């Protein structure tokens, strides 16, 4: 069934399995295409734009994703999760004569926001959308890690800096999409690799430099074999303990990689699935960075037991039946249009409601049930009012559509949407989003000791003592780019979370890939890649 997107006016298709899912959970068919649905959600998530603010409860300085000019109260992490307040104090009666979203927006403006969202972490104060981490610093969208710094979307990693989308990887640096690896630097899409630099799509390799598509190799440089003695000599000659040595090798590697065939998508142990960066998944459709997930559609970062999810950005640790939501994890199920409602079930149109169940239009609740607009009801009254709200939303053909953009408490340029769907200020405002003009960070305060100026954006960034120790331990030159610019470089290399139809350079078979049509890489279908590489 073909539809025209209500936002971008592009055509998109609703497939039979999509329709069955909508019928199963009772929502209406979407008016927006998958890309616009993702853009709407991500405009409500600020991952990495931080500000110094005062806690509205204890008055201490804290780091927050909410800029100091925002009109609502912000509590530091300890106060927000503490017992000094109760979100039910802000409860509102539902008024059937007013639009539901107007009432939610009123509640949303009153209830205190958490400065940074993380839970059950030890000695790890500056985390966002993270859980169960120890001795970590500025990691985002990550859980069950130890002693990691400046990382994004990592799981079960240890003693690493500048990792993204990596899992069970240790003592590694500036790598992306790597699994079960140890002491790898500047690597992408590698499995079970060790003691290597600048690898792409390698598996079970060790002591390799600048290699692409290798399997079970040791002492290789640019895909050519060396003796152990020759390898050690060549490694020393590259001077990878210097910035100049690293950048020279980086340029040589990128040039070499373009001469090698690339698999159309990153897939490992995948059954009946489309998308890329998939590992150990089954029946996933148009998903990106999905692992150990099943029956998910139009999702990004569904992982570790996620099942039966659609239109989600980050759902895992046994998250099940999550629709059009973000950051749903830790034994969650049956969510419709939620954000950061961890360990909760049967939740709709809620933000930051933890360990709760049967809530609609709530925010900031913990261990509550049968609440609407933060007000407690008995189960029978709850279902009656819930039905009224759903009837109103259905009359407008928006039940299952994420919150209107003006509900977001972030400027579009602060949100994760800007990274994936960049807009100018004028474009964002025209489309109903907000814009944040507060300047973030400092400039011109570098001291050459622990505060430096980014060579790309010129913003100051700090290197903490543990980070210095890591660079010394692995003989890594100090970074010239700030963490945000390093993150952007890694994510640009991954490509966008969308698919195009292209053809295999060897057999001309058609496939869907996130390599845009104007990209220069040589693309192979899975069969040709496996024949030639494996």
| Cβ-contact 203, 188 below 8 angstroms | no
Let me know: does 530 contact 510? Beta carbons within 8 Å: no
Query: What band does 440 get if pLDDT is binned at 50, 70 and 90?
Result: confident
Binned at pLDDT 50, 70 and 90, residue 496 comes out as: very high
Do residues 247 and 506 touch, judged by C-beta distance below 8 A? no
- Nearest of 531, 525, 21, 488 to residue 262 by alpha carbon: 525
The β-bridge relationship of strands 320-329 and 333-339 is parallel
Helix (H) and strand (E) counts in the chain? 12, 34
Asked whether residue 15 carries a pLDDT value surpassing 90, the answer given is yes
pLDDT of residue 150: 98
* Residue 26 within any structural domain of the chain: yes
At 308, list the tokens: 């039966």
Instruction: Write the pLDDT tens digit of every residue in 74-96.
Output: 999 999 999 999 999 999 999 99
Q: Residue 515: inside a domain, yes or no?
A: yes
pLDDT exceeds cutoff 80 at 168:
yes
Q: Using alpha carbons only, give the angle 113, 114, 115 rounded to the nearest 5 degrees.
A: 115
Sign for the pseudo-dihedral over CA of 161, 250, 481, 450 = positive
Please report whether residue 167 resides in a domain.
no
Q: How many CB atoms lie within 10 A of CB 205?
A: 25
| Long-range contact pairs involving 332-337 (C-beta distance under 8 Å, separation at least 24) | 334/25, 336/25, 336/27, 336/400, 337/400, 337/401, 337/402, 337/403
Q: Is residue 286 in some structural domain?
A: no
Alpha carbons 210 and 195: distance in angstroms, whole number: 12
- The CA-CA-CA angle for residues 120, 121, 124, to 5°, reads 155
Q: What is the pLDDT of residue 438?
A: 84
Question: Do 342 and 329 touch, CB atoms closer than 8 A?
Answer: yes
Q: How far apart are CA 326 and CA 408, in angstroms?
A: 13
Q: Read off the pTM.
A: 0.95
Give the span between the Cα atoms of 177 and 191, in whole angstroms. Answer: 9
Structure confidence by residue, pLDDT tens digits, 80-139:
999 999 999 999 999 999 999 999 999 999 999 999 999 999 999 899 999 999 999 999
pLDDT value at position 533? Answer: 85
161, 198, 328, 501 from 522: Cα distances, Å:
31, 19, 37, 14
In this predicted structure, what is the pLDDT of residue 21?
99
- Coil/strand/helix, residue 442: coil
Q: What is the mean pLDDT of residues 368-375?
A: 99
Tokens of 220: 């290789």
User: Which among 438, 348, 450 is positioned nearest to 402, based on CA atoms?
Assistant: 348
**Length of the chain, please?**
534
pLDDT band, residue 386 (cuts 50/70/90):
very high
Q: From the CB of residue 249, how many other CB atoms can be counted at a distance below 10 Å?
A: 19
Q: Measured between alpha carbons, how far is 327 from 339 in angstroms, rounded to an integer?
A: 6
pLDDT, tens digit (0-9, with 9 covering 90-100), for 278-337: 999 999 999 999 999 999 999 999 999 999 999 999 998 899 999 999 999 888 999 999
Question: Which has the closest alpha carbon to 188: 155, 217, 166?
Answer: 166
pLDDT score recorded for residue 227:
99
Answer whether residue 395 shows pLDDT above 80. Answer: yes
- The owner of tokens 């590694």 is 172
Is 54 inside a domain boundary? Answer: no
Beta bridge partners of 127: none
**What do you get for the CA distance between the two ends of the chain, in Å?**
39
Using CA atoms, how far residue 121 sits from 77, 167, 487, 511, in Å, is 11, 18, 23, 42
Q: Which residues fall within 8 angstroms of residue 270, CB to CB, at 6 or more apart?
A: 278, 279, 280, 281, 282, 284
Alpha carbons within 13 angstroms on the beta-carbon side of residue 310 total 22
In a domain? residue 22: yes
Cα–Cα distance list, 430 to 423, 447, 452 (Å): 10, 42, 37
For the residues 198-209, what does the mean pLDDT come to? 98
pLDDT at 42: 98
What is the C-alpha to C-alpha distance for residues 497 and 446, in angstroms, rounded to an integer? 36
Q: What is the mean pLDDT of residues 230-256?
A: 98
140: β partners: 128, 152
The C-alpha torsion from 281 through 286 and 289 to 295, rounded to 10°, is -30
Residue 441 confidence (pLDDT) above 90: no
> What's the chain's average pLDDT?
97
Task: Give me the pLDDT at residue 442, please.
Answer: 87
Sign of CA dihedral 74, 107, 128, 345: positive
Task: Provide the pLDDT for residue 330.
Answer: 83
In the structure, what pLDDT confidence band is assigned to residue 448 with cuts at 50, 70 and 90? confident
Does any domain span residue 433?
no
* CA distance linking residue 392 with residue 84, whole number of Å: 36
Q: Which domain holds residue 11?
A: 2-32
Is residue 353 within 8 Å of residue 366, measured between CB atoms? yes
Q: Is the pLDDT of residue 534 over 80?
A: no
pLDDT tens per residue, range 396-439: 999 999 999 999 999 999 999 999 999 999 999 999 999 999 88
> pLDDT tens across 452-467, in order?
999 999 999 999 999 9
Give pLDDT tens digits for 18-45. Answer: 999 999 999 999 999 999 999 999 999 9
In whole angstroms, give the CA distance from residue 221 to residue 475. 19
- The answer to the question of residue 430 being in a domain is no
- What's the total number of domains in the chain? 2
């Amino acid at each position: 069934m073909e539809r025209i997107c209500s936002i971008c006016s592009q055509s998109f298709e609703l497939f039979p399995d999509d329709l069955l899912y909508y019928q199963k959970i009772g929502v209406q068919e979407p008016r927006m295409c998958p890309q616009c649905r993702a853009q709407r959600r991500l405009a409500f998530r600020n991952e990495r734009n931080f500000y110094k603010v005062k806690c509205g409860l204890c008055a201490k300085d804290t780091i927050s994703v909410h800029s100091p000019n925002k009109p609502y109260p912000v509590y530091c992490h300890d106060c927000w999760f503490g017992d000094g307040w109760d979100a039910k104090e802000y409860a509102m009666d539902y008024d059937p004569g007013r639009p539901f979203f107007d009432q939610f927006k009123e509640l949303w403006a009153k209830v205190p926001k958490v400065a940074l969202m993380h839970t059950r972490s030890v000695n790890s104060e500056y985390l966002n959308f993270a859980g169960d981490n120890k001795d970590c610093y500025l990691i985002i969208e990550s859980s069950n890690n130890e002693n990691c710094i400046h990382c994004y979307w990592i799981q079960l990693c240890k003693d690493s800096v500048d990792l993204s989308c990596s899992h069970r990887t240790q003592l590694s640096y500036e790598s992306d999409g790597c699994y079960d690896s140890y002491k790898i630097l500047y690597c992408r899409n590698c499995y079970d690799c060790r003691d290597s630099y600048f690898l792409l799509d390698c598996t079970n390799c060790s002591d390799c430099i600048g290699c692409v598509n290798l399997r079970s190799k040791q002492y290789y440089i640019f895909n050519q074999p060396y003796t152990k003695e020759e390898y050690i000599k060549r490694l020393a000659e590259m001077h990878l303990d210097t910035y100049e040595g690293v950048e020279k090798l980086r340029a040589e590697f990128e040039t070499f990689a373009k001469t090698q065939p690339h698999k159309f998508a990153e897939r490992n142990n995948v059954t009946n699935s489309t998308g890329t960066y998939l590992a150990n998944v089954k029946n996933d459709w148009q998903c990106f960075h999905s692992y150990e997930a099943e029956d998910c559609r139009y999702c990004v970062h569904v992982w570790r037991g996620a099942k039966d999810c659609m239109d989600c950005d980050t759902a895992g640790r046994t998250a099940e039946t999550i629709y059009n939501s973000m950051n749903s994890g830790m034994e969650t199920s049956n969510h419709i249009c939620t954000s950061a409602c961890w360990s909760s079930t049967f939740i709709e149109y809620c933000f930051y409601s933890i360990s709760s169940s049967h809530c609609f239009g709530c925010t900031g609740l913990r261990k509550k049930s049968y609440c609407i607009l933060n007000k407690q009801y008995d189960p029978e009254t709850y279902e009656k009012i819930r039905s009224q709200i759903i009837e109103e939303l259905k009359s407008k053909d928006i039940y299952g559509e994420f919150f209107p953009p003006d509900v977001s408490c972030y400027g579009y340029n602060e949100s994760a949407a800007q990274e994936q769907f960049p807009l100018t200020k004028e474009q964002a405002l025209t489309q109903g989003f907000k814009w944040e003009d507060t300047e973030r960070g400092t400039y011109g305060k570098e001291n050459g000791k622990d505060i430096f100026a980014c060579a790309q954006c010129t913003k100051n960034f700090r290197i903490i003592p543990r980070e210095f120790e890591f660079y010394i331990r692995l003989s890594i030159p100090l970074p010239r780019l700030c963490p945000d610019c390093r993150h952007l470089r890694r994510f640009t290399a991954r490509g966008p979370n969308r698919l195009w139809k292209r053809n295999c350079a060897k057999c001309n078979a058609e496939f869907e890939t996130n390599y845009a049509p104007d990209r220069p890489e040589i693309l192979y279908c899975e069969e040709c890649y496996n024949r030639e590489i494996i």
